[in-house]
Structure 1
């Protein structure tokens, strides 16, 4: 066994320690992702998705004739799949994009143009916030706080509820 010293970088996650706590971020991974997608020169988006923006599947569009002419299926779904997988890995240290990635994930097998546009908006959002991450404060704390929100019947296709949650241990996000 060999002592490699203090942890600085592990599986794409940068770890920085200070007296106040530990910061985990994926800024290098984020910059590489933005560069590979070709959005280095674009303007950053302030939010990962527009307010009340609803995505639908191809089957839903065929049945209800909902923008089926304007919103075509992507000819090459592999680019969308790769992008969503990379965004999913980024949610380890970026809970702010976790909801949007959850919304994009069900469309992996038959993505449409609108799905790709939302995924690219997420990339534009993380471009402007590349240095964000999770901060684990060094201060002692023993309170566990959980927040939950639900949009009753907010799924356009199934009319099911969409729920999100966050769990904090003191000031640190743990789930």
Structure 2
């Protein structure tokens, strides 16, 4: 994987604003007012942007359009369900580009195509080749023969642990950093989600809870996701819910996680938007959210040339929720559930997902819906494939 950084160019052309409005060109092009101090031959002129300037509200969109068109012209196909992903497949050749504004991650198995697209991008945008991917959007990447390890260092987060809470600023800053850290630390997703609900009414007790999360992180600062090079390509999902867990709103918390083989690739912990009348309804709503994610993952797998060979196994520890999905008849207990939740039933019948029961103690998504005692929590986390890069047994061959 290579990291690329692109630079944008611009230049201006004066245009009569009245003429531009008369012909309707302002709806198609991008213009700006004449900057103060710039001499013009007559009043009523604007600047027509031939290439976008930084810090204009149109800049990011114009840049994305230009970059997308360049990649499409080079034979890349844009993923319909996530426009930041582009791939190019030719026979046994595979190349993928992930775009974040003007930062690009390039990977593939064809070094000739990789060099070719880098040259094309450099000719058009003057890119900077940062070499093998080691750092991207705050996440660090380490590779070895056994797989890829992605993690985020959090030493800076502990600097606030000795300060006194005088207003909400410290609390908000700390929560913002913790939220970003959940990109590689799913084990803190539930705790950070709960703490982020008190941004407008933070107290010392909430800050102490923040510090407790920091102490947990400080024990293993280089822990992160590990993607095994020997993992199989079967998707398995876990969906769970904690009924009426919010004492104020009585809303439930949904949680799901998906494993590609033995590697964790997707997870979520979020409070439900409505109040569930029963634990079965709460679990069924969680299944609906997980099913939507399963659909997206199936689209992604198909797009990169790895279509699913069998249904996605979706595990739930609530038999009633599974029965609702399997039963085509609406009963009194579930007729009030919104139609969009029944996507579970539709995708189950279509064969995309295969619903299976699981024992509560084996429910991997349990840690995303509630605060667990140390024993069950550590048992769950140990199955997520999170590894500590500082562990001497993993450091051999790491780059």
The TM-score, its normalising length taken from structure 2, stands at 0.33
Two-structure CA RMSD over aligned residues (Å): 1.6
Query: Tell me, what secondary structure is at the counterpart of 1:167?
Result: strand
Deviations 1:109-133 (A, max 9, x none): 1212221111111111100021210
**2:70 maps to which residue?**
none
5+ unaligned residues in a row in structure 1: which ranges?
A: 40-73
1:15-164 to structure 2, matched below 5 A, reads 15-27=141-153, 30-34=154-158, 36-38=159-161, 75-164=166-255
Partners in 2 of 1:140 and 1:168 — Cα distance? 10
**More displaced stretch, 5-14 vs 75-84:** 5-14
> Partner of 1:16: helix, strand, or coil?
strand
Matched, 1:5 2:131: yes
Q: Which of 262, 267, 270 is 1:171 aligned to? A: 262
The Cα of 1:4 is off from its aligned counterpart by 2.6
Is this contact kept in 1: 2:195–2:206, CA < 8 A?
yes
Higher alpha-carbon Rg: 2
| In structure 2, C-alpha distance between the alignment counterparts of 1:144 and 1:92, rounded to whole Å | 20
Which whole-Å CA distance do the structure 2 matches of 1:124 and 1:112 have between them? 19
Counterparts in 2 of 1:38 and 1:119: CA distance versus 1, 3 Å: closer
Return the alpha-carbon distance in structure 2 between the equivalents of residues 159 and 106 of structure 1: 14
1:22 is displaced (CA, Å) by 0.3
| Partners of 1:11 and 1:130 in 2: CA distance | 17
Please identify which structure carries the higher strand content: 2
State the Cα deviation string for residues 6-46 of structure 1 (Å, max 9, x = none).
Answer: 1112222110011111000112xx11222x2246xxxxxxx
